[in-house]
């Protein structure tokens, strides 16, 4: 759990760059198709959308962070939602790594 906690915290802090780019208006992302699909989710579901999108391994979460910044989602809401989603994802990755190492160690002995 400690590995998932550390990785989830680091992942959440790392996502601040996209959020801050969107919040400051420096992100020019509005002409991309993916943005058009993610922005309504962020507007409608707020932190829940951010949590779900950050918990699922996908390359589009940076765009969701930018969309949250453009939508002026509060920073605490963004950080907590991202942290919970990252915590779930990273804990599952850590557990998968732990048990796959044990499995392969036993398999090849």
Q: What share of the chain is helix, strand, coil (3-state, %, to 5)?
A: 80, 0, 20
pTM given for the model: 0.81
- From first to last of its 109 residues, the chain has per-residue pLDDT tens of 788 899 999 999 998 998 998 888 766 666 667 677 777 888 888 899 999 999 998 887 888 888 888 888 999 999 999 999 999 999 999 999 888 888 888 888 7
pLDDT of residue 26: 65
Position of tokens 């922005």? 39
* Integer CA distances (angstroms), 22 to 55, 88, 108, in order: 20, 25, 49
Domain ranges for the chain, please list them. 2-107
Q: What is the pLDDT of residue 38?
A: 77
């Amino acid at each position: 759990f400690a590995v998932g906690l550390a990785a989830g915290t680091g992942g959440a802090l790392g996502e601040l760059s996209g959020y801050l780019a969107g919040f400051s208006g420096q992100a020019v992302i509005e002409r991309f198709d993916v943005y058009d699909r993610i922005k309504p989710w962020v507007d409608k579901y707020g932190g829940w959308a951010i949590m779900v999108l950050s918990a699922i391994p996908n390359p589009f979460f940076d765009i969701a962070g930018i969309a949250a910044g453009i939508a002026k989602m509060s920073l605490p809401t963004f950080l907590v939602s991202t942290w919970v989603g990252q915590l779930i994802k990273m804990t599952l990755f850590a557990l998968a790594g732990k048990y796959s190492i044990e499995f392969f160690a036993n398999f090849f002995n």
